[in-house]
Amino acid sequence: MAKQASIITLKGRVGRLSFYKTKDGYLAREKGGVEKSRIMNDPRYARTRENMREFTDNANSTKLVKDALRPVISKVSDQRLGLRLNQQMMKVLKSDAVSVRGERKVKNGTWDLLGGMELNIRASLSRTLLFKIETLDSPTSWQINIPALVPNDEIAYPSGAEGFKITATGVGLDFDAGTRTTVTAATPILPVSAPVEASVLSIDKSQLGGTHFLFVLSVEFYLNVNTTDYHMNNGDHNAGKIITVSQV
């Protein structure tokens, strides 16, 4: 590392030298690292290129899943969800048993590895909805049966909440085409202060395109101001979970 001695002070890059200011004055250092052309062509970096290809597939696949789940995760306050999802998707990619190293893909992996994933690490669905969740998965639909319940006893709602809504979401993904479809079915906003009748949420699978599917159950909370319902500003208690996964 070199220190500039002249009265001319530089900041930024000149050729292979980078100039920057520190508490000890203006310093200069030579650009380091390996040239991109070498990484892409040198046989000694074959393993690096393999990792890069798989990392790219995982990143693109994770983005597709996140975009498809946007209606759910936009209401879930978990800043680490993207990282957790990326890590879990990498496990799916690495479970690809049909492709050679460097060519493994999420679409060929064990899709079941995403089943049971919580979308808000701070508020798990099982600790928020305290009643038994019954699902019916048929070739034509994915169905959630919500029993009659007393919210005070069977929902762990945050202080200040006056209402809640439960939503079923179905997602269809085509990793080759990079396309997604999302279908939702939800209860109305229900009061936390009164008993709730039994209801059914159903996702029509014919509306979902693709080869890989996710089915999510989520709950969000509301407050009421002058007869108007508003999302609670603090979304820490909103919960969502991937309940069922499937592929064709």
Q: Per residue of the chain (248 residues), what is the pLDDT tens digit? A: 445 455 455 555 555 566 667 766 666 665 666 677 776 777 787 788 888 999 999 999 999 999 999 999 988 868 889 999 999 999 999 999 999 999 999 999 999 999 999 999 989 999 999 999 899 999 999 999 999 999 999 999 998 899 999 999 999 999 999 999 999 999 999 999 999 999 999 999 999 999 999 999 999 999 887 777 778 766 688 999 999 999 99
Q: Say what the pLDDT of residue 232 is.
A: 77
Whether 224 and 162 have beta carbons less than 8 Å apart is answered as: yes
- Is the pTM higher than 0.75? The answer reads yes
What's the one-letter identity of residue 45? Y
Domain boundaries along the sequence of the chain? 1-32, 43-247
For residues 92-110, one letter each, b for 16 or more C-beta atoms within 10 angstroms of the residue's C-beta and e for the rest, the string is bbbebeeeeeeebbbbbbb
* Angstrom distance (rounded) from CA 65 to CA 179: 10
Q: Say what the pLDDT of residue 44 is.
A: 80
Q: Say what the pLDDT of residue 227 is.
A: 76
What's the one-letter identity of residue 175? F
* Angstrom distance (rounded) from CA 20 to CA 23: 10
Q: Say what the pLDDT of residue 194 is.
A: 95
Closest alpha carbon to 181 in 65, 93, 85, 101: 65
Terminal Cα distance for the chain, rounded:
57
**pLDDT tens-digit series, residues 178-212:** 999 999 999 999 999 999 999 999 999 999 999 99
